[in-house]
């Protein structure tokens, strides 16, 4: 069952019969999308079952009617059920926000319910059977039995907890709160529509989001594919990139997994490109002579720190003990939202923010833990180069793994160069929009890109 010999399903005397596997994708209207976690206390929980025929296939006519009904209803949350039935669905819906449920029904909660639904709503849903209500107590109550959400969650995650831990043991160190306020700066180069060059390296995956974010605030963003199929293609790509940097006011290094994070570390491929003489000269000309800006997010940040553009503001050979980004404490990739705090406005990229502003930002990386020795940390703090920090729910920088997802020292998420015009950060600020993170609370918009464009006005 697969496209290559090693995935054929045959092993010793075990054979998988020829199997037709079909995949289908149905795009939907984002305005009608709701997430599965319970949203409010006191709302109704309804069960909607899709009938199946003798072959266990769904009645698609009924399914279509149900879909039409749900699209016109005031639904807070919806969850599609599977082999775990209602019991599993209720648990997962409750885990998200820690909102409990009180259930009163004779329906079998543990029977598999493929293609059926659990709905949270403020009023009854046509075709639905009300089976309970949400409640503030973090429990699921079924008749006389009460189950704590915490115990249910531990039972759900414990089988693979040792293999895929959600968090590492919290660090015993503390996270300082850094505060540095600066007057906003403007470039000596004036243009209302600065040109942005966004190189797309093998493995880059955030170039489209980055270009969109810049275009929405008036910049002229160009994505340039770096071709490496042949030595000649590499040479041509190096020359083209250097030429494009010289014609642009902003260099954007987007996120992704350039060259599959090989060899033995993320960002090394991009760093190698930036160190090539032709590209390095163009980058330093942008910074030293043309008052330009550079932004590196995630994989781009990893490349900036490996070249020295942050925190030193120049491309240089790495030295033992330099600040770095290393593997997450958890030992694997993380993908989640986290809250970050503006700790300094030294960088023009942060001119539209104030120290203390909080933003909920999506993160996706395997090597995002910032580390530096105490001497370098003191220097970065003194010059206002510690740009952003991970915080807890009260806005305080923290080492707690549920808020500091990679274990960065002093909860540092982003740093800048001495001049501030080079900024590197792990959070994907570009991944935002009216239909992104609709079930995430807090401030999802971080005005980096608008500040970058205003810098040249």
> So which residues are the catalytic ones?
298, 428, 430
User: Beta-carbon neighbour count of residue 398 at 10 Å?
Assistant: 23
DSSP state, 255?
-
Cα distance between residue 291 and residue 438, in whole Å: 37
Sheet of 100-103: strands edge to edge? 75-80, 117-121, 44-48, 129-135, 100-103, 139-142, 145-148
Q: Strand 129-135 and strand 145-148: pairing? A: unpaired
What Rg value do the Cα atoms of the chain yield, rounded?
Answer: 26
Structure tokens at 86: 């209602």
DSSP state, 356?
T
CB 370 within 8 A of CB 413: yes
DSSP state, 83?
T
List the one residue out of 73, 63, 108, 71 whose CA is nearest residue 89: 108
Residue with tokens 């974010």: 213
For the four alpha carbons of 35, 37, 43 and 46, in that order, the dihedral sign comes to positive
Segments of 9-135 assigned E as strands: 44-48, 75-80, 100-103, 117-121, 129-135
């Amino acid at each position: 069952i697969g496209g290559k010999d090693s995935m054929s399903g045959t092993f010793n005397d075990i054979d998988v019969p020829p199997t037709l596997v079909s995949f289908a994708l149905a795009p939907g209207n984002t305005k009608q999308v709701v997430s599965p976690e319970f949203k409010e206390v006191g709302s109704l929980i309804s069960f909607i079952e899709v009938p199946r025929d003798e072959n266990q296939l769904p009645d698609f006519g009924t399914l279509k009617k149900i879909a039409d009904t749900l699209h016109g209803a005031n639904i807070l949350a919806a969850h599609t059920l599977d082999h775990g039935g209602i019991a599993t669905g209720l648990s997962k819906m409750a885990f998200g926000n820690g909102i409990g449920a009180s259930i009163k029904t004779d329906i079998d909660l543990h029977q598999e319910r493929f293609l059926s639904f659990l709905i949270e709503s403020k009023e009854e849903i046509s075709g639905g059977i009300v089976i309970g209500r949400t409640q503030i107590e973090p429990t699921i109550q079924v008749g006389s039995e009460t189950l704590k959400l915490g115990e249910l969650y531990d039972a759900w995650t414990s089988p693979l907890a040792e293999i895929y831990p959600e968090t590492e043991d919290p660090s015993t160190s503390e996270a300082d709160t850094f505060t540095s306020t600066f007057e906003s700066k403007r470039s000596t180069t004036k243009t209302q529509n600065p040109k942005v060059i966004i190189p797309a390296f093998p493995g880059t995956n955030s170039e489209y989001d980055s270009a969109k974010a810049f275009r929405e605030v008036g910049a002229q963003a160009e994505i340039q594919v770096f071709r490496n199929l042949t030595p000649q293609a590499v040479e041509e790509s190096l020359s083209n990139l250097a030429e494009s940097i010289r014609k642009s006011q902003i260099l954007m290094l987007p996120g992704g997994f350039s060259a599959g994070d090989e060899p033995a570390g993320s960002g090394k491929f991009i760093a190698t490109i930036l160190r090539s003489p032709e590209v390095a000269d163009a980058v330093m000309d942008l910074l030293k002579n043309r008052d330009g800006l550079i932004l590196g997010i995630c994989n781009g940040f990893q490349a900036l720190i490996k070249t020295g553009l942050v925190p030193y503001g120049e491309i240089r050979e790495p030295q033992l003990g330099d600040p770095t980004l290393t593997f997450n404490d958890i030992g694997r990739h993380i993908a989640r939202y986290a809250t970050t705090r503006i700790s300094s406005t030294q960088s023009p990229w942060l001119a539209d923010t104030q120290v203390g502003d909080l933003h909920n930002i999506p993160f996706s990386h395997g090597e995002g833990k910032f580390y530096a020795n105490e001497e370098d940390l003191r220097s970065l703090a003194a010059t206002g180069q510690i740009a952003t920090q991970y915080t807890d729910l009260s806005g305080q920088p923290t080492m707690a793994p549920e808020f500091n997802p990679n274990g960065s020292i002093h909860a540092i998420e982003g740093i800048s160069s001495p001049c501030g015009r080079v900024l590197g950060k792990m959070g994907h600020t570009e991944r935002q929009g009216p239909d992104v993170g609709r079930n995430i609370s807090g401030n999802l918009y971080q005005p980096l890109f608008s500040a970058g464009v205003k810098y040249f006005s």
